[in-house]
Amino acid sequence: MAEHINFDVLRPDAFFELTSVSFGDYIGRYDEIWKVLPDIGSICDELLADEKDLLPEDIPVAVPLSLTTVIWKGNVYTSNFEILGGDPTKGTFQVIVDGEVTSDATVLYAGCVLWDRRLKIGKGVVVEPGALIKGPAVIGDGTEVRQGAYVRGKCLIGKNCVVGHTTEVKNSIMLDGAKAGHFAYIGDSILGKDVNLGAGVKLANLKINRKVVKIKILDVEIDTGMKKLGAIIGDGSEIGCNSVTNPGVLLGPNSMVWPGVTVPGGYYPPGCKLHSN
């Protein structure tokens, strides 16, 4: 029955402003927002088709980097640079390379692990010690991957994002400016532009009974056909510390979830405020 109902509220453009963000053209192809998730791997492959975009051959993979490494203007440096620091997400992280001050240099700190070469890492990205990034993955300009972060592959991470300390991301999309700064889990999910996850937020993606995720909207239950479906979080939304979204949460733009709340699966309209009773 649900397939014959025109639910415009489930379209990607009901959650995200797609015209000016990274990956918007790809997300906009789908009529229901969760359908993009099984295709993230193939989207990554499409974006990694040009070999010049892949991780340079002279950067070691599958081992912790022994030397802090800078990529700038297509060249790889393990010396002749000075890191001045700053905030990469605000464009203030600066490096002196060959005597020139720049905020476009990518910094891979000693101790981080790049698991394979199927990685496209943008300008001004900072990857801190202890972070591990598996391909395929695309990481946009000015993004910060903090100490202990785990990017598990099939990830599209936009510009000026934060993948925080001990945060895990797998088969997910973070649109420009999305931030998960501390102890988060993001599985089979999409974070809209400027979404912020407080410390300890978990976007659960698998039901405890391992059954297919169904989404209830307007008293109709929609079978997604997916056993792994985390959360779709609309642009500008905030989720408070230690909150958990159950599988199949669709949260409209500019919504807010109070700290410590467990959000049942289902559709929530734009601007909603969810708190414990």
CA distance 122 to 141: 4
Among this protein's residues, is 182 annotated catalytic?
A: yes
Map residue 90 onto helix, strand or coil: helix
β-bridge mates for residue 102, sequence order? 95
Amino acid (1-letter code) at residue 131: A
How far apart, in Å, are the Cα atoms of 55 and each of 78, 129, 134, 157? 15, 18, 12, 16
CB-hemisphere CA count at 13 Å for 122? 24
Lookup result for tokens 């099939």: 154
CA distance 116 to 148: 18
Q: Which residue among the candidates 4, 165, 182, 275 is catalytic per the annotation?
A: 182
CA angle 184, 186, 188 (to 5 degrees): 170
CA angle 37, 41, 46 (to 5 degrees): 120
Residues recognised as catalytic: 182
